[in-house]
């Protein structure tokens, strides 16, 4: 077992905490793709390196192994949640970054609990230290596939729950025009496509490029870490 870090967007963090996200996909580096051995139909048979001398399982090159524990990096602020009154005498929580005894406030936590996020100095997830992590995941499976091979169930497991623009208020379903009584078909895959492009298109790995990806399945580890650094920042309402 190895402990490694992994980064997610605020939306993905929320999906993990809501138990909607249990897998993620990561683009496979070109030098690893160059090792792929494919059959005539493009099916992946394994990987090859001269130093190995034979075809070996491609997952041996994966950045994560089954059993690894991943600590999640997320957007955060150094500070402490305190309470103050507005001009109407109403008490509101806010993030103080001048307190003597500060901790780490995840942005997702602030959004979830309706704590103001304006006028706060936020640090990108890449800068989060290990001691500030509050979410830990254990890898349960690793496999390889093309991005566009994702199925509806896996798109759901990626944490998709919001509607694709095309389905409006159809409760997550597109109408099936040739059979209006069929109930339609789910759009989780469409939602995943939109999320993927928002995170990866600018890097040159948009949905349309259909890159090879690592598919990492995980479960949350609830009792892994000492969360003192988080706890001292997240105080209860007076």
In angstroms, the Cα distances linking 35 to 31, 52, 161, 210 are 7, 11, 36, 18
Q: How many domains does the chain fold into?
A: 2
**Of 163, 8, 26, nearest in space to 73 by CA:** 8
Q: Are residues 149 and 64 in the same domain?
A: yes
Q: Are residues 37 and 141 in the same domain?
A: yes
Q: Is residue 127 part of a domain?
A: yes
Q: Are residues 21 and 126 in the same domain?
A: no
What is the rounded CA–CA span in Å between residue 57 and residue 167? 40
Torsion angle, CA of 203/220/74/92, rounded to 10 degrees? 140
Q: Are residues 213 and 97 in the same domain?
A: no
Between 107-116, 173-182, 194-203, 215-224, the lowest mean confidence (pLDDT) is in: 173-182
Q: Are residues 123 and 146 in the same domain?
A: no
- Residue 180 has phi, psi (to 5 degrees) of -60, -25
What is the rounded CA–CA span in Å between residue 194 and residue 160? 10
Q: Are residues 41 and 98 in the same domain?
A: no
In angstroms, the Cα distances linking 66 to 122, 128, 172 are 33, 24, 33
Q: Is residue 180 part of a domain?
A: no
Q: Are residues 90 and 205 in the same domain?
A: no
List beta partners, residue 212: 146
How deeply is 21 buried, as exposed, middle or buried, from its count of CB atoms within 10 A (0-12, 13-18, 19+)?
buried
Q: Is residue 80 part of a domain?
A: yes
What is the rounded CA–CA span in Å between residue 10 and residue 25? 16
Quick one: average pLDDT of 2-23? 93
Q: Are residues 26 and 140 in the same domain?
A: yes
List beta partners, residue 91: 85
What is the rounded CA–CA span in Å between residue 125 and residue 65? 23
Q: Are residues 27 and 63 in the same domain?
A: yes
What is the rounded CA–CA span in Å between residue 85 and residue 72? 34
* pLDDT score recorded for residue 222: 84
Quick one: average pLDDT of 124-150? 95
Q: Are residues 26 and 56 in the same domain?
A: yes
| pLDDT tens track for 23-78 | 999 999 999 999 999 999 999 999 999 888 899 999 999 999 999 999 999 999 99
| pLDDT tens track for 87-112 | 888 888 888 888 677 789 999 999 98
Q: Is residue 191 part of a domain?
A: no
What is the rounded CA–CA span in Å between residue 213 and residue 145? 6
Task: Evaluate if residue 212 carries a pLDDT over 70.
Answer: yes
- Residue by residue, DSSP assigns 46-98 as EEE-TTT-SEE-GGGG-S--TT-EEEEE--EEEEEEEEEE-TTS-EEEEEESS
Global model pTM greater than 0.75:
yes
Q: Is residue 178 part of a domain?
A: no
Q: Is residue 140 part of a domain?
A: yes
What is the rounded CA–CA span in Å between residue 191 and residue 163? 7
**Of 46, 93, 56, 100, nearest in space to 78 by CA:** 100
Q: Which is more confidently placed, 167 or 97?
A: 97
* pLDDT score recorded for residue 166: 43
Q: Are residues 156 and 47 in the same domain?
A: yes
Question: Pairing between strand 36-38 and 44-48?
Answer: antiparallel
Q: Is residue 173 part of a domain?
A: no
Q: What is the mean pLDDT of the chain?
A: 85
Q: Is residue 188 part of a domain?
A: no
CATH number at residue 40: 2.30.130
Q: Are residues 101 and 52 in the same domain?
A: no
Q: What is the residue range of 78's domain?
A: 74-133+224-231
């Amino acid at each position: 077992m190895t402990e490694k870090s992994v980064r997610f967007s605020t939306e993905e963090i929320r999906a993990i905490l809501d138990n909607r996200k249990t897998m993620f996909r990561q683009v496979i580096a070109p030098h690893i793709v160059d090792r792929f051995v494919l059959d005539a139909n493009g099916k992946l048979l394994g990987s090859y390196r001269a130093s190995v001398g034979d075809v070996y399982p491609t997952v041996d090159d994966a950045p994560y192994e089954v059993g690894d524990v991943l600590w999640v990096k997320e957007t955060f602020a150094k500070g402490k949640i305190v309470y103050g009154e507005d001009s109407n005498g109403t008490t509101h929580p806010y993030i103080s970054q001048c307190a003597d005894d500060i901790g780490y406030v995840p942005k997702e936590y602030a959004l979830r609990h309706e704590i103001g996020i304006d006028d706060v100095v936020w640090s990108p997830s890449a800068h989060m230290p290990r001691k500030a992590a509050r979410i830990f995941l254990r890898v349960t499976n690793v496999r390889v596939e093309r991005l566009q091979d994702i199925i509806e169930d896996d798109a759901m497991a990626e944490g998709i729950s919001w509607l694709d623009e095309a389905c409006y208020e159809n409760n997550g379903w597109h109408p099936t025009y040739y059979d209006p009584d069929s109930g339609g078909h789910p759009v989780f895959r469409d939602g995943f496509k939109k999320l993927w492009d928002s995170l990866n298109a600018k890097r040159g790995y948009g949905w349309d490029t259909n890159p090879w990806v690592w598919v990492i399945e995980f479960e949350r580890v609830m009792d892994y870490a000492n969360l003192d650094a988080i706890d001292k920042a997240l105080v209860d309402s007076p």
